Amino acid sequence: MAYLFTSESVSEGHPDKIADQISDAVLDAMLTQDPDSRVACETLVTTGLVVVAGEVTTKAYVEIPDVVRETIRRIGYNKDQYRFDAESCGVIVALHSQSPDIARGVDENEATHKEQGAGDQGMMFGYANKETAQYMPMALAYSHQLMKELANIRKNELHLMPYLRPDSKAQVTIEYDGNGKPKRVHTIVVSTQHDEFASETAMLEKIREDITGILVPRVIPAELIDKNTIFHINPTGKFVIGGPHGDAGLTGRKIIVDTYGGKGAHGGGAFSGKDASKVDRSAAYAARHIAKNLVAAGVAEEALVQVAYAIGVAHPVSVNVNTYGTSKTGLTDGQIADVVAEMFDLRPRAIVERFGLKNPIFSPTAAYGHMGREPFEKEIETFRVELKESNGVKEEIRRRQLHNVQFFGWEKLDYVKQLQEAFKL
C-alpha cells in the first residue's frame, strides 16, 4: 500500500540547535583537558542571554563564556540587529559537581576492568535501512542536506542569497510505492530567516525562486521531483525575527532531528552536553552502529536495535532486534538479537573504547544529525592537566598533545564481514 512519510531538520542557527552546540562545545572543552570529565551540561538561549547549567566533575579549567561566544560566532550570530549576538549576549554559568549518589554507580573499579556501570537506566535505539547511501531514512537525509547546503550558501556563497540569516527549517515528504520503496518527493517545506525587504511580495518571490532554483537542485536528484511536487517556501510569509530572539532554545529539544526523523523508535534521551558515561548517548551510538552493520551485511533490509540498561549495572538488561520481516537469514529476530548480544560488547566502557568517546569529538554532532554522517579522522590538540608537588609546593602542569582521533566512529562499517560469517551470508 502506497503511503507518505515526513521528516524535518533545522539549521545550526535554530535556537534549540544553538543550545545543543554550546552544550557540546563545553563538553569538548573539558574533554580536551581531562578525558575523564563527567559532564551533563544544559543550555538555555533567549534574547541577549545564554544560561549554562548542569553537573560537572572535571580537572579541567574552562572559560565557559569564551566557549559560548566562540560557538555563537561560528554559527553566524554576529550582528546586533539579530538581538542575539556573540559579542553582546550575557552569559550566566550555573555548573556544580555531579551527584555522588550517581557517581558511585558509574565509577569504574580498577579491580573489575570494563565494569563501569551505566550512568542511568533507560532504553536506546539504533536504526538503519537501505533508502540512502548513508543507510538513513530518505526524508530525514534530504532535510539535513537542505539545511547544511543552505548554511554553506549563507557562509561561503553569500552573493547567491545575501539576505539569509542563521535560523531555518526544512521538511521533506517522501511518497512510497506499494512495496514500501521510495518513489518520489511529494512535498518540500523550507522556512528561512532573512533580512528586511522593501516589499513582502518581492521577498516571497525572491526567496521562493532561490530555494527552488539554487538550493533544492543541489540536494535532491531531479528524477525524484516532478510537476506535482509541492513546495512551501516561507509559508507564513515574513521571517525576519528569528533565532533566540524569536524563540527560546533549550538543549535536547530536537531528539528526533538528531536521530532518525521519526522512523524506527527513540528512547527519549537527548545527546548533547552529555559525556559518554551517559548511555543515553553512548549506547544510542552503539545501537546505530549495530543496525547499520546489520543492514550493510545483508542480514536485513531494515533493522531497529534496542538496548536497555539499569543505572550502575554494566551489562544491558536486554538487547532486541526488529527486522520488520525483512531478515535474509532464516532466523527469528530473537535469534538475531542473541548473535548481536554475543558479538558486540555493550558495556559502557567497551562502547567508549570502541568509538573513542573520551576524545573531544562531539561538537560536529550537535547540528545536522548524530547519525548518517561520514566518519573521518582528524588531528586535534589536547591538554592534560597534571599536578606536580616539589618541596611541599603544588604546581599545575599542562602538557600539550597532538594526535589523530576518530569522529563518527559509530558510522563505520567494520563488522560487516563478521556478521556475514556469523549468519552464513
What is the distance of C-alpha 343 from the center of its chain? 26
| Selected residue with higher pLDDT from 385 and 407 | 407
Over residues 192-232, the pLDDT tens digits come to 999 999 898 999 999 999 999 999 999 999 999 999 999 99
What CATH number does the domain containing 184 carry? 3.30.300.10
Q: How confident is the model at residue 57 (pLDDT cuts 50, 70, 90)?
A: very high
Helices 279-296 & 348-355 angle (0-180, nearest 10): 60
Res 95: pLDDT: 94
- pLDDT: which is higher, 425 or 413: 413
Residue 274 lies in a domain: no
Residues annotated catalytic, as ranges: 14, 16-17, 42, 55, 169, 239, 247-248, 253-254, 274, 278, 280
Q: Are residues 358 and 308 in the same domain?
A: yes
Q: What is the largest CA-CA distance in the chain?
A: 81
Of the residues 180, 211, 241, the one at which a domain ends: 241
**Considering the domain boundaries, does residue 94 fall inside one?**
no
Structural domain includes residue 17? no
Residue 114, pLDDT score: 47
Q: Are 227 and 177 part of one and the same domain?
A: yes
For the chain, what is the mean pLDDT? 93
> In terms of domains, do 283 and 418 share one?
yes
pTM: 0.93
- 388-412: b (≥16 Cβ within 10 Å) or e: eeeeeeeeeeeeeeeeebbbbbbbe
In a domain, 30, yes or no: no
Distance (Å, whole) CA 296 – CA 416: 7
Q: Are residues 335 and 234 in the same domain?
A: no
Task: Establish how many alpha carbons lie within 13 A of residue 10's alpha carbon, considering only the half-sphere containing its beta carbon.
Answer: 23
Which pLDDT score, from 0 to 100, does residue 109 have?
A: 46
Domain assignment of residue 366, given as a range: 122-129+279-422
Whether residues 209 and 288 fall in one domain:
no
Any domain includes 79: no
The number of domains in the chain is 2
Average pLDDT over residues 156-182: 96
Q: Assess whether 232 and 349 both reside in one domain.
A: no
386's enclosing H/E stretch is strand 376-390
d(CA 256, CA 258): 5
Residues 345 and 227 in one domain: no
Domain annotation covers residue 386: yes
Q: Give the best-scoring range by mean pLDDT among 99-103, 235-239, 317-321.
A: 317-321
**Rounded CA separation 162/259 (Å):** 31
**Per-residue pLDDT for 333 more than 80?**
yes
pLDDT at 190: 98
| Claim to verify: residue 143 and residue 221 sit in the same structural domain | yes
- Establish if 372 belongs to a structural domain: yes
Q: Are residues 290 and 390 in the same domain?
A: yes
Residues 287 and 414 in one domain: yes
* Neighbour-count burial of 163, counting CB atoms closer than 10 A to its CB (0-12 exposed, 13-18 middle, 19+ buried): middle
Residue 117 lies in a domain: no
Q: How confident is the model at residue 116 (pLDDT cuts 50, 70, 90)?
A: confident
Confidence of residue 111 (pLDDT cuts 50, 70, 90): very low
Judgement on whether residues 416 and 283 belong to the same structural domain of the protein: yes
- Across 19-46, average pLDDT: 97
pLDDT digits (tens, 9 = 90+) for 284-315: 999 999 999 999 999 999 999 999 999 888 99
Place of cell 544560561: 51
Chain position carrying cell 544544559: 42
Reply yes or no on whether the pLDDT at 101 is more than 90. Answer: no
Same domain, 236 and 284: no
Provide the pLDDT for residue 117. 75
Over residues 169-180, the pLDDT tens digits come to 999 999 999 999
b/e map 334-365, b = 16+ CB within 10 Å: eebbebbbeebbbbbbbbbebbbbbbbbbbbb
